[in-house]
Chain A
Amino acid sequence: MATNAATRSAADRAGPDGPADHAVRTEALWKIYPQEPRPVEAVRGVDLTVERGEFVAMAGPSGSGKTTVLNLLGGLTRPTRGKVWIDGLELSALPDRKLAAVRQNHIGFVFQSYNLLPMLTALENAEFTLMLQGVPARERRERVLRLFHEIGLEGMEHRRPFKLSGGQQQRVAVARAVLGAPALVLADEPTANLDSTTAEALLDVMQQLNRDKGTTFVFSTHDPRVMKRAGRLIRLVDGRIAEDVVRGGG
């Protein structure tokens, strides 16, 4: 594949250092869904290391395993085989309660269809993780309002999700994902339901957060705009990493 960026194998990136030094590390990661007539191997032996502060896009055709990899990294599903470390914590060994604590404190999620909680206002949605973390109400409000100001959501605080546009909802979702200061934000096709202008604006916001706060982003995407902006592009084919390209910047 022609590229002007350095291409490395997953094994190269694992390196000799321990998992605690990376935002993400996986080792021989497999996910097999038991199905008739034949089990589906959604992820097949993925070894992946993501450094802190990276802006990584995972691309690939439908069914290539992008979402499953994100779910495995986020502890939303357990691997059939292999190991996952997030911020040095091995997820596969953790019981459900501790896994929830890892998601609460180390991982932020942005979903394709926003998935804001419809019974909460924009502000309440954004502060949800902070609330779980036990941050006092006044501090929560201050942090949410500051971020809302930065990402252009001022005045939308008390609106319910159904009164926000798609782009606004996705920005609230991004705010919710990053406000808890996670080491890693996993975004599953975050621009798929947005028009070009809104998608670009959202990418600006995420890139700004990546740059200013050092938050690590891992996307799954079909969107060329996301791929173009990513500092590293991983292509998945049939549940395997087919290509891992570091382009610098991002």
Chain B
Amino acid sequence: MIHRIWWRIAWRNLWRSRRRTLLTASALAFGFVASVLMIGYMDGIVEEMVANGTRVVTGQVRIHAEGYEPERSIHDTMGGREGLDVEALLAAVETRNGVVGAAPRLYGGGLLSSGDETVGGVLVGVDPAREAAVSRFASALVEGRMPAPGEIAMGDGMAETVAVGMGDEVVLVAPAADGSTGNDLFTVSGIFSVGVGALDDSYALLEMGSLAELMAMDPGRIHEVAIAVEDIREPEPAAAAIREAVAGIAPGLRTEPWSIFQDQLYFMVNYVGAVNVYVAAFIFGMAAFGVANAMLLATFERRREFAVVRALGTPGGAIGRIVVYEGLLLGLISLGAGVLLAAPLMVYIHENPIDLSRYVGTYSFAGSAVRPLLTVEYSWAGPLASGLALVATGIVSALLPAWRAVRVPPADALANR
């Protein structure tokens, strides 16, 4: 009941110097907007990096045979040399909550030749129908289509190196699982450009059965299942569910989220998160000095009033509370103004990202193509954290003025000493 009067006094005090309050609130509100946009922008970069790093080839979760990495020997297939029931494995994975799609893969290495040109490359046996849900190969086709049996799709860099185009033939030579060397003729069915130089220069896709035949491997032998999940930033829950689901299908399967197999990317994501915290702390730290200064000034101007309420029997704690309430209310006013400013700006920049690639080009980092887009990502975390930081700034900025107000000596202040 009595608290209401302290809130009322705090609220009315704020509006006694309207200009100062509006200026201070504006500073905090702009700090909030800067923090929200900056975090949204960094989130956008991270989102793009994770998307590019995991949607191009790997997916967000993958299953291998234990020991496949890092050697990636062609013999280390899932389920051992006997292989496993691939359809049963895929069915177990695809029925898990949060799984978008799963694609089996067979990997090999070999030489591609056409005429006088030869290039070494990574040969990937794929199920074209399933691949589209997991990787960008299908959507990145600049010409043609995914390979049918006897066909090959390759990156544009590789196609340029061996000087082939659609419908041309290439000779593939690859070491086989039985110790022999497989070789065969394949027709170019598609050329893709995923935007990551290392992939476009050295990856070639074949229909799974064609590559298995070239490498003398049984149909049940695959090296990997690449899986796309809904929450690409937090794949661990889906990975745990998949791990549990596939445990009974074959022994020695290793299920990993991208945070394990894309450790550089994971480091970068965490690094950006940490930078966000420090930048927000810096923004609000600077704002706190301004707010504290304004509140100290206001406290000094009201020394006499604090002395009067002390004389009337108000405990020191209540006087401190008035000033802290002022800081809290200032924070809330600033938050309201900040939200009104930040929301339309976020929507506008999100809907109309500024493409800076014409100035700086594109680049890849940790296997991820990065498009220099000035955009912001929608999320609750950034605005929520910034909002809490803003209100906390209001309160923390009020602590020193509150302490000063509590320590006003009534007799001296009443005598204007």
Binding site for B on A (CB under 8 A): 67-68, 71, 74, 76-77, 96-97, 100-105, 107, 109, 111, 115, 117-120, 124, 128-129, 131-132, 134, 137, 176, 180
Contacts and interface: CB of A to CB of B under 8 A. Distances in A.
10 contacts: A71-B411, A76-B307, A104-B314, A117-B308, A118-B305, A119-B16, A128-B312, A132-B312, A134-B1, A137-B1
B304 A104 contact: no
Interface SS of chain B: helix
A118 B1 CA distance: 21
B5 interface: yes
B243 interface: no
Best-buried of B1, B16, B313 by chain A (most CB within 10 Å) = B313
Contact of A109 (B12, B312, B415): B312
Contacts of B316: 96-97, 100
Best-buried of A120, A128, A129 by chain B (most CB within 10 Å) = A128
| B interface, size bucket | 20 to 34
A67 B414 CA distance: 10
A104 B414 CA distance: 17
Contacts of B309: 117, 128
A176 B409 CA distance: 21
Contacts of B308: 109, 111, 115, 117
B313 A117 contact: no
A104 B313 contact: yes
A119 B9 contact: yes
Interface string B383-417: 00000000000000000000000000111101100
Contacts of A100: 310, 313-316
Nearest to A72: B411
B305 to A, nearest CB: 6
Interface string B301-338: 00011011111111110000000000000000000000
B312 A111 contact: no
Contacts of B409: 77
Given A76-B411, A111-B414, A103 B313 contact: yes
A211 B308 CA distance: 27
A242 to B, nearest CB: 23
Interface string B218-247: 000000000000000000000000000000
B310 A120 contact: no
Contacts of A104: 312-314
Nearest to B305: A117
B315 A119 contact: no
B360 interface: no
B364 interface: no
A189 to B, nearest CB: 12
A115 B313 contact: no
B13 interface: yes
Contacts of B312: 103-104, 109, 128-129, 132, 176
Contact of B313 (A67, A71, A129): A129
Nearest to B409: A77
A118 B304 CA distance: 11
Given A103-B311, A115-B305, A120-B9, 7 more contacts: A68-B411, A103-B310, A103-B313, A104-B314, A111-B308, A120-B12, A128-B312
Nearest to A176: B312
- Which 4 A-B residue pairs are closest in the complex by CB-CB distance? A104-B313, A119-B12, A77-B411, A103-B313
B315 A97 contact: yes
Contacts of A77: 409-412
Nearest to A108: B312
Nearest to A31: B411
Contacts of B16: 118-119
Interface in B88-117: none
B47 to A, nearest CB: 48
Contacts of A120: 8-9, 12
Contacts of B2: 131-132, 134
